[in-house]
Each structure stands twice: as structure tokens, then as C-alpha cells.
A and B are shown apart, each in its own frame.
Chain A
């Protein structure tokens, strides 16, 4: 009667899990390239801009996910314009757009007079309140972004590793970058429905960061990132249901825990194998003061 998986009988939990799964695939798909290109802050940027979009949606009575999406795509265009036409550094351009998004959100929230429950659900995620409508949108965006990354995988990889070499060899770098930024905007707008605006960029970066601790190739790193994100969503939802915790927080906390474990296990089993392990020992013995714990020294 009180089995651990009783929740599966509720359609709202089924929807939560389905939407969560889509997001668990989406976030690392985009996240791995964002992290490797050191553009993690773009996730933060779209999240803040989406907040303004949601606030506008609520204020005007338009479907907030749609306004958030529109705002994100607009921000993507502004980012490219700032970078190319005005030659603003990428990180500075991102900071400017974050400021614009956040301040606009604050103003719009102020205008709507009340910090209403709807806005709250976007800020902190409301995976348990996902409507069939939301689920359709999340799934459609999921399919779109995943097929994009599948079809453009070799370009995305090459550009992430060496944009100049990709360009000189004739890869359509500008086109791929444009599509990638749009895919990122889409990903963040729909993911925020599940984990919330405040945590969406965490789900984009943390599973990838954990995978980077262990991956011995790009392919393995990507697979690990999917596994970690998937597990975080599944386990986070499970725990949140049983312990009555906020789902977004539980999901991201699980991801952070995985990162800590991955980073810890890397310290014990250095990923460079034998050669790397020897270097570790050398480095450790150079620091006389830290001699007491040299886990790397034991495994070779």
C-alpha cells in the first residue's frame, strides 16, 4: 500500500518524470559545449532574461513559457550583435544582458503588484505542476535540440575545441554558432519549468563538470554527463516526493553530490593512468608539508 513507487499512479508524477527526463537529456546536450567553451555564464544569462519574459507573460496574461522563449531568442540576437558589431567582450556582453534581464524582471514584477504564486513556480520550478500543454512544449523543444546536436555534432565538437581551426578548414562556424545559441535559449526556457530559473544553469553545468572529472574521451564524457543528469533528475524527484522537498533543489543537490563524488574519486584514481599517477607522486613529494595524505601514491 505504501510502496516506494506508488507515486507512479499519479498522472502529475508521470508528467513530472517525463518532463524531467527530457530536461535531463537536454541540459547536458547543450551544457557540454557551453562548459568546454567556457561559456557557462550564458546559461545564467538566458535564465535571467527568461525571468523577465515570465514576468511579462504573467503581467500581460500571455503563456509565460512563450514570452520567456521570445525574450531568450532576443537576448541571443543582442549578444551576437554586441559581440560582432560593437566588439564587446563576450563575458561583458553577458553581464550587460543579465543586468538588463534582471532589472526588467524586477520592474515588471513590481508593476504586477504581487509576487504571485505563478512567478514563484517559475523561479523555483514546478515540475509537479506540469500541464499536458507544458509537457508537449518541453518534448517538442527536446526533440528539436537533440536532433540539432546530433546532426551538428562534428561541427560543435570542432568549434568547441578549436574555433579558429574549424573556421580555417571551412566549417560554417557562424551558422553553427547561431543555431547553438538559439538551441541554448530554447533549452533554458523549457528547463526552467522543471528546475526553476534559479537552478537551470546548474543543471546545465554541474553534470558536465562531474563527467569531466572521469571522462577519458569526448564520447565517454558526453555519455557520463547524460547518465549523471538523468540520475539527478530521477533521484531528485524521487527524494522530493518522499521527503516533501523542493524538486528543483533536490535535483541539483543530487547533481552536486555526484560532482563531489566524481572529483573525490578522481583524486584517488587519477584519470591520467600510470604516467599521470607518477607525476602526481612527484608533485606531492615536492610539497613536504602535505605529505600526510597522498592517496595517489598508493595505487601504483
Chain B
């Protein structure tokens, strides 16, 4: 599970010195449900520098996923401004947004969201398919990414033949395939046991150490401990935004946890 190849993670040095990677100003999201309006976000402003590792916490329904969807350019705010690498995303076309999702953002979901009946390798290749990388290069880069998450030997396996933790690592490899500058993970450990969850956090910490900006949603305070910064949502607002002075180191925690080997 050693992180063997550093080239896959884009260096954060060039953008960190200037504008923040993410700037959100007064973002609101209102859903119209028949007569009633649902205010999922009621004015959120936050700035995230390149190289940061943010954990978002908050009660169910507080707007975390809605916020992540906006950060991921899957959704547009009802009001407010979102700048990604200094670019105002609200002015972009659907096609441009697809391009940003493809090139700059990697997604990791709670339910893994791998394509069924498709090998780990092919799943990992998928984002490169849409950035028009040749088949040969797709394969070599996908193998690299799988090696990075410690799954080099599972490349030809189908999702159904992998454990939850392994599936989530395939999903991470897929998210890394196009060398994004931002990794968004909405409850990535929600479906995993605690040891596997820490293993995932170990991967995230190593990726972050190489400069990858990570925004992670979690319900578990233990998991949030591995981030550098904690933002708490409540009722569509940011209630708290703290820098964690000394985050836990996942690889150290792993040593203290019992391994359940068979």
C-alpha cells in the first residue's frame, strides 16, 4: 500500500502562492418543492487554499452534500459566487463544466460508484477516456494510479470481486487518473469499517502531503481528526471553521489498530 509514484499528484506549488484554489462568496441554494422552498444553503462564504485538507462536518440535512456538488461543478448555486482557480464557474457552459470536472476535480462517493461488470483498470481509465488520452497511455496511467492506492495486483478484478475498502481505493485511483488539483470526497468512509476507514485516510494524507487539495465530508469526528481544517455546517450556514493544530497521522493510528487478517 506504499505510495510508490509521486508524479501522479500535481504539484501544488504554482497555485498556492497566489489566489486560493477555492473562493466561495455568499452562496445560496434553494430548492423549489411544490409550494415550499427548501433552503439547502443560506449564504456560505469560505476560501480554501491549494494544499489544504478540509473536513466538513454537520448534522444530516445541513447542506454538506449540496455544498460539495457546487464545489464539484455538478450543480450551480442559486445565488452567490464560486471561483475555482480564480475562474467564476457560474459563467461557464455545461461543456466547460464537464471539462473542469474531468481535468481539475476528482470525486469519491460514499457508495463508491464504480461501473459494474467493468474491471478496476477500466474504471480507472474512464476519466481519461473523456480527455481523449490514447488507449495505451490510459492503461499505463491507470495502472500507475492503481499502484498508488495499493491495488496494482487487482487491476483485472471486477468491483463485485473486491471488498468495500478496495472498491473505494479503485474509486480514488479513478479520481486521481487525470491528475486533478482538487479531490472531493462525500462520506468516503461511510460504508467502511473503522480500520479500512483509517487506511483510506492514510491514502488521503499521503496525497495531500504531495500537494493535492482535499475536501472531505464526514459524520465521524475520528475521521475529521486526520484533516488540517474542520468546517461545521448547520442549517445551511457555516457554524464553525477551525484549523486543527495537530492532525492525527493515519499511518501512526494504523499501527495501534489491530489487523483483522485471515
Task: Decide if A and B are genuine partners.
Answer: no
Binding site for B on A (CB under 8 A): none
